[in-house]
Structure 1
Amino acid sequence: MSTTAQLQEVLDGTSIDAAVFELRPDYRALLLAVDGLVPGPSDEASDALLAEAEASARRALAEQKVDTLSHVAAWRQAYQAFGAKPNRTRNSLEALLRRAATGLPRVNRLTDIYNAISVLHQIPLGGEDLSRYSGAPRLVRATGQEPFDTAANGEIVIEHPEPGEVVWCDEEGVTCRRWNWRQGRRTQLQDETTTALFILDALDPLSTEALREAANELSTHLSGLGPDIAIAQHLLGNGQL
């Protein structure tokens, strides 16, 4: 099992390429590395948290459309800036909010928790299996040559991002395409995951304080998923935060 110091060392190696900040100088990412997780199916606690998130989404969307919510709108603009079509490839926050009205999926308690926090705080939030990473996470604008393993029609396929697309990657290839749209199969959370990485994304008008609040609530819920949980955080932004 990793200690908090060991997890912090991994996170300290994370980087964001300057070309990403040229696209969106207001971008910030808060990363959480967690070890000691005890896998388990959805339970009463995770179901209650998802129900709270569904109610929150219904209130938020009672008087306005999902694409006009301030943080959703900011991410749609960010997607357009690197050539993606937000109506075709929706950021993870918008995709969850659109599902919340009819019910969020119940997957397992780890996935349930981070999906609920994403909706409650209206923030894109990705979860991955940190033990499947090769090297530290990096956010870059793609060359178009990087491999991305996904599935199509039930078959494993290797795709490549569009040149200039914003992607998270490690030494083996892309781990998440279009900033926070689709995660790869290699590093995706599994039912047996015990070590996880969570990436919380923020653009203006969401404040860094609000970003930290979301991360702290996520940490609180994750701390209940095992007797010996270790958690480390790392905030990245354009210049000094």
Structure 2
Amino acid sequence: MRNKNIKAIYDILLEEYSPQGWWPLLNYDGINPTKTGSINGYHVGDYDFPKNQAQEFEIAIGAILTQNTTWQSVEKALINLNDIVDNFSPKSILKIAIGDIEKFKNAIRCAGFVNQKSQYLQNIAKFFIDLGDKTPTRKEILKVKGIGNETADSILLYAFKQNEFVVDAYTKRLFSYLGYIDFKDNYLKVKKLFEDNIPNNIAIYQEYHALIVEHSKRYYSKQPYGVNDKLLENFILD
């Protein structure tokens, strides 16, 4: 379905909040435009990241850890992991998980669902080892236990620079409030709406998702959603 407002909303959000520079990396000396969390690993305007497999894998770890929790909790877990492994390589994660599972679990406990996520991280580590230097397909990554649509698209978009639009709860809250979707619409239907209406450009794909999150933290975190959202009031469908 073609709808010019989808791209227009992106333009408004970008003008309001500026580029966000997602996905933040723990050991990159960047900035923090969002003021959320403590790390300054946001690479604003540089879409060449990640630049090595360790950064790709760190993004994948973060995408799994952020399931059903806040980014601040993920940040703490990543910092804890960074303190007990040599680097964010698949082999180093597996080594600590196999060698001292309780130490591994304690490192990520702050991100919640520790038993599930500890297994999911081991699953993605094994997947990366088998993957080598290839770029996975969406179908391949969805076969990894613990990876659903949102996590798969986050990894593909931010770790492998593939144009896969990420739909999260904020996306559904915002665009159902504006009237472009029903909140109950399935993931792939909402994803298609965006992919049909924005340019096939990695910067736009990455920034749009990040900008939706940044805007929604202000107006769509608590019910009733959309209160005082003056920025996008002209885009509400009748």
Task: Pick 1 or 2: higher relative contact order, CA cutoff 8 A, min separation 6.
Answer: 1
Question: TM-score category by the smaller chain?
Answer: under 0.3
Q: Which has the larger radius of gyration?
A: 2
Superposition TM-score, scaled by structure 2 size? 0.28
Superposition TM-score, scaled by structure 1 size? 0.28
